[in-house]
Structure 1
Amino acid sequence: MSNTNHSDGIKHDRLRGDLMSVHIFVLNEKNFDVCIRRGIAGIPNHEKDQYNDALISRMAPIRKGDYILFYIMDVKELRGIYRVLDKPFFDTTPVWESQDPNRVYPFRVRIENSDYVFENPIKLNDVYDLKDNGLMWTFSLQRPGGASNTLFSITNDEFQHLFRLFLKLNPVLTPPRPIREPYPYHEPNLLSQLHLNSNHNPKYEYSVMALLLSEFTEGRFKGIFGEYDDFLGYIPTSFGREMDALLITHNPLNKDEVIAYNIVEVKRDRFDEDGLVQLLQYEDWFLRKKVNGDFNMVRATAIAQSFSDKVVDYVEKRKQYEGKGIKLLVFSNSEHGFELTPIARP
């Protein structure tokens, strides 16, 4: 089979209109060997509830059929490609070796071989070459402040560049080694580990993020956001901050062409002027760095439980005088699920 046919195959999901996300786990060689032997990937827990919800929000965007890559820290290599078998789950059964008995990597997802498990990996230097050429921009091994990433997502468009590079490095495809000890199915109970108040209200901003990103995996809220076909959370910027979420819409007649980005900023309680300044900074950065100043390609959304009068007033005046809108959405969570509602205008 030619390389062209391989490339067409990897795009088939998106041509069907299915959501297909791409996630990269960061780990060492020893743990990677366990992952491919057992058909499972995971990230560690934390002793603080808030940061456990943060880790859950990293896993929440993963859904069945998504692609999985592994970055091996010891040798600075990117390996893959694997596919997700079912939704993430919480499980404390020991799988990976750890010097800390309380560190069991309980946030997990089962994986299987894809049709493209490449023998030759991509070196980190090659990834940085793609970044230098403007072809990779969400690949980030570190978070703002210097903390290491254990799991992050990249856009479908960036994944296509990695896939082409994998093909160049692997002109002959060999059958992958089978998953020798497949991990048993587990109920998708990941969100049950989130910290909610007695009235189901999310306790932390990370809790809101986990609920929101999980809804995006189901393609929800298109009546609000439009026909997005890719999304990711925690997007790095060049000024040391992360956008909360980004929705991407491609041209339905040309899946290589992006027609819109929607920048989403989330607050657990009240969205005030500081949050607005943050959102506008992201918008300005995106206009300058990603879309060459094309305002029609960039949309902005604020999500919270309430909004200050100054925020509402600014958004209304900006729409009136500049013709640039910002969606203000109120979230709610109950036993019936997570919902978004545009704020009521006076």
Structure 2
Amino acid sequence: MERKRILITGAAGFLGSHLCDRFIKEDFHVIAMDNLITGDLQNIEHLFKLENFEFYHHDVSKFVYVPGNLDYILHFASPASPIDYLKIPIQTLKVGSLGIHNLLGLARSKNARLLIASTSEVYGDPTVNPQPEEYWGNVNPVGPRGVYDEAKRFQEAMTMAYHTFHGLETRIVRIFNTYGPRMRLNDGRVLPAFIGQALRGEDLTVFGDGSQTRSFCYVDDLIEGIYRLLFSDYAQPVNIGNPDEITMLDFAEEIIKLTGTTQKIICKELPTDDPKQRRPDITKARELLNWQPKVDRAEGLKITYDYFKSLPKEALVNKEHKNFKTYNK
């Protein structure tokens, strides 16, 4: 029986590379695509020797061509951390607008099902907690985070337009804070930021008074949820995340205990439009996908910390990604 073929954009990134692993494991032919603006080929280099894996170095904001038949597309190409999208705002907007338009056109021409990676950031700084899919959000479109939030909101709208107008098979996953091996230590997200500071012997930085909350989902759980959603019959957005909520102050204390650092916690000014609460309502995922997270935070954090400790020392240095200046156009 011929293998199903799947295109994964953003394939050299944190989540994209784990998705490549999962679909290789499920015996798909995986076509990986990434412009390497924030991705790293080291995340997928172990797959290059496989005959059912191929890689395209390409920016999906430009015309996308893939020869042969295509059964599924996963659109995970996008800067996803505040440090990234604040330094490359135009590229962030382009991948969420031109990129999704190109991929929807490709999906239509190939009669492929397309799943897009949306985000809990579509809810902005929420006025309800936890956040159900029916909540429309509280987003500042012209604030510093608007380049990411609105790119994802537009991406959802464009995807649903193709679904309703053209009858295209589409799926939308709203991803909440996720962590695990292959995260970049210096990408600005809270967990690698804390662990990076601990490994460098720096004080851990909490913004505001540390009372704002996040909910962390281990990457293997997230990938399982995405896999189930792709093969479901549900086209509306679905939250995938771990509803176990924790304040940033308590989380910093957990990281100090995990890493054994003697550094203290310091507070800095809260960034503009930083969400005060983030917790998914996963009722739909439970009912529609029979999914819920299985890995508890203590277990997931230990695996993630062991991964970061194994990195070469130069990975601990805070430095700008080599491609940022090239792409900030």
- Same fold flag (TM > 0.5): no
Structure whose residues are more often strand by fraction? 1
Highest RCO, 1 vs 2 (Cα 8 Å, sep ≥ 6): 2
Q: Which has the larger radius of gyration?
A: 1
When the two structures are superposed, what TM-score results if normalisation uses the length of structure 2? 0.29
